Amino acid sequence: MGISITKSIIFFAVTGLALSVMANSDLPAKDSESSKIITDLPGSELTGQGKNIRGIYIPAGKVKSWKHPQLLKWIKQTNANAVLIDVKDDLGRVVFTDDLPYAKGSPNGYNKKLGSLITVLKENNIYTIARLVCFKDNLLSWTHPETAILDYKTGKKWKDNSESRWVDPYSQLARDHIESIAVGAKDLGFDEIQLDYVRFPVDKNAATARFPNKTGETKRYEAIAALLKQVDEAINIPLSIDVFGLTAYHPEDSEALGQKLEYLAPYIDAISPMVYLANWPAHYWDSPTPEKTHQVIKGAIERIYNRLGDNIEVRPLLQGFQWRAENWGYSFVVNQIDAANKGGASGYFFWNAAGKYGTVSQVWKNMDREKNKKTEEILTAR
């Protein structure tokens, strides 16, 4: 994607207004009782395959530049059974087409062979998830300036810490754009749509952000819920979202993000909390112990289930990169997987912005080897 791994990871860093409030204790605080709002949710539409994933994110550049057989071979060598692939990237470009109502021409459509790749992956029993970046969008804010978040001090388009522009989550045009991409991805054959950056910006620059499309007293989480409802009604495949990991622990502080899970849950089938501590406030990742890492991951999963019940699947995003992980290595990966499993997760993803999963792959291979060994022992004993 033309962005270094360090910068790509930093784009996901938790900083600023709302989340700085969350960083006061050594470990996350207990949920507030007021978070338990919705108790009767529709059942998840996820298939058995979607409920038991070992997933990896594949960068758009690798997907585009590698031939299908080469990419398939690499995926199999990682021992992943699910892949997360961009259909709208972090710059706002629609990957697979340049002929949508609000995505006409270049730089959209830079990988029009994506549909044939999805066919190949599904033929090989790889579960395919379309990653759709929602409101972080340089491109739409430029081509349709009426959708842009504005800076009330300058009157110009607002930018976050990484100099990226965002579109207003209150904008109906922005929501329609996201819906059209989700429908297009579904038509390509993806098994599932996952919405990322499905939130309001909260970095330190957000203090000057103005949302020109807001009307009345609409809450931020209501704007996000409206998008999810719209997309859910437009597709007939599972819909999932990424959320900040800290929202599991601090529902009362998620208003700035618009990620009040109880209000979003009726329209989705799975939630992926980003529980890699490297992107949490500094006191979480500054020399954390394996026990602390395990506790935070396991606890986040359990708390989401406690709040929403078991009709929503929780599949965390785990850390697949070394940044801010002094004890990075084989045991670091094993510890995260163990925490996810003991928390009751329906599978998990590993995130690495460069698509490098050597250590993760080795762990999975050894896990499979051990599982096969135990199976052989059981069959022999019979």
Strand, helix or coil for residue 104: strand
Domain count, the chain: 1
Say what the pTM is.
0.88
Residue 204 has pLDDT above 50, yes or no: yes
On whether the CB atoms of residues 259 and 199 are closer than 8 A, the answer is yes
State residue 115's pLDDT score: 96
Average pLDDT over residues 255-278: 92
* CATH number for position 284: 3.20.20.80
On whether the CB atoms of residues 108 and 92 are closer than 8 A, the answer is no
Beta strand spans in 213-332 (E): 239-244, 270-274, 313-314, 317-319
Q: Which two tokens stand for residue 52?
A: 């038991």
Could you read off the pLDDT of 71-102 as tens digits, one per residue? Answer: 999 999 999 999 999 999 999 999 999 999 99
Could you tell me the residue range of the domain that residue 199 belongs to?
A: 5-381
Tokens 């009040």 found at: 260
